[in-house]
Amino acid sequence: MAHVTLDFRSAYLLKSTTVHVLLPDLPRTGPRFSDPKEFYSSGKKFPVLWVLHGGSDDSSDWVRLTNIELYARERDIIVVFPDAGNSFYANWKQAMIQFNMYDYLTEELMPLIHNWFPASSDPKDNFIVGQSMGGVGVAKYVANHPELFGGAGILSVGIPDLDESDRGFLTKNIVTQLSRANGGLEEAKAGPDNIRAALVRNKDKLPPIYCSIGTADPHYEEMYIPFRDFCIENGIKAEFKEYEGYGHEWRIWDIEIQRMMDLFGLKQVRGNS
């Protein structure tokens, strides 16, 4: 695949930012081998997988710590890795000179990718997945913008009730950060960071949602189980899967990114040579 490191100044982040993009390139061998001119001028639009990183990570971690490039090559898809810092994919009104991460993805980066690259803008060809903090971002985007995606993968996290910050350290951290981003808890409840409310509000519009976690993950009992119960109680159609013994680690995320691609219908169309 081609690996593009795109550095540009974002109007929504009010700073320069880095995006990693994996692009299908010319098949090297076999019956699908093409003339370069024919391949690159074909006008073909490829499905897009948006991958959101976790807290304390950056846009390069998924590329460096998993075999995602190999799996994407086999499926002929574009993969986009935005950099979100530790923002929880929220709009931070008082961070620096504002850092509108939530709006950045849908209002700036998606139009950029869909128009500068051979990327399909059809929602049926766009899928979103992320782990830990990135899973919170995935839930937020698919809950508030279900019309933009054909499927979503929430890995190794659960989405807390904003009124239950006393449930534990992990829950309190998320609620605290989302409250800070919005200028207060009540403000967070009134906007897109009230993810559970958005899921209920748009439950009949949601694309397929897949959630998974390792049973040794500290998020498992505190966040994942309550979120699973919430979805069941509120009729939110989501599939849940647990992996015995895995923790909060890249080994499970490497396994799960392959399974997510399969669940999204991104079939293998070529070998990895």
Kindly report, residue by residue over 218-235, the tens digit of the pLDDT: 999 999 999 999 999 999
Q: Domain count of the chain?
A: 1
- Determine the pLDDT at residue 13: 97
CATH code where residue 147 lies: 3.40.50.1820
- Determine the pLDDT at residue 84: 97
3-state DSSP call for residue 219? helix
Segments of 96-222 assigned E as strands: 99-100, 126-131, 151-155, 209-214
| C-alpha distances in Å from residue 130, one per residue of 121, 156, 158, 221, 262 | 20, 9, 12, 19, 15
3-state DSSP call for residue 26? coil
Residue 227 is classified by DSSP as H
**Over residues 5-32, mean pLDDT:** 90
Q: Are 100 and 12 in contact (CB under 8 A)?
A: yes
- Determine the pLDDT at residue 31: 56
227, part of any domain: yes
Q: For helices 68-75 and 250-263, what crossing angle results, to 10°? A: 10
Give the integer Cα–Cα distance in Å for 130 and 237.
18
14, part of any domain: yes
Which residues span the domain enclosing 29?
A: 2-263
pTM of the model: 0.97
| Chain mean pLDDT for the chain | 95
Give the integer Cα–Cα distance in Å for 13 and 11.
6
Judging by beta carbons within 10 Å of its beta carbon (0-12, 13-18, 19+), is residue 264 exposed, middle or buried? buried
Question: Is the pLDDT reported for residue 95 higher than 90?
Answer: no
- Determine the pLDDT at residue 30: 60
Question: Is the pLDDT reported for residue 32 higher than 70?
Answer: no
pLDDT digits (tens, 9 = 90+) for 180-189: 999 999 999 9
- Determine which of 72-76, 96-100, 148-152 has the lowest per-residue pLDDT on average: 96-100
Judging by beta carbons within 10 Å of its beta carbon (0-12, 13-18, 19+), is residue 212 exposed, middle or buried? buried
**Number of neighbours of residue 218 by Cβ within 10 angstroms:** 15
Ramachandran angles phi, psi of 149, nearest 5°? -130, 150
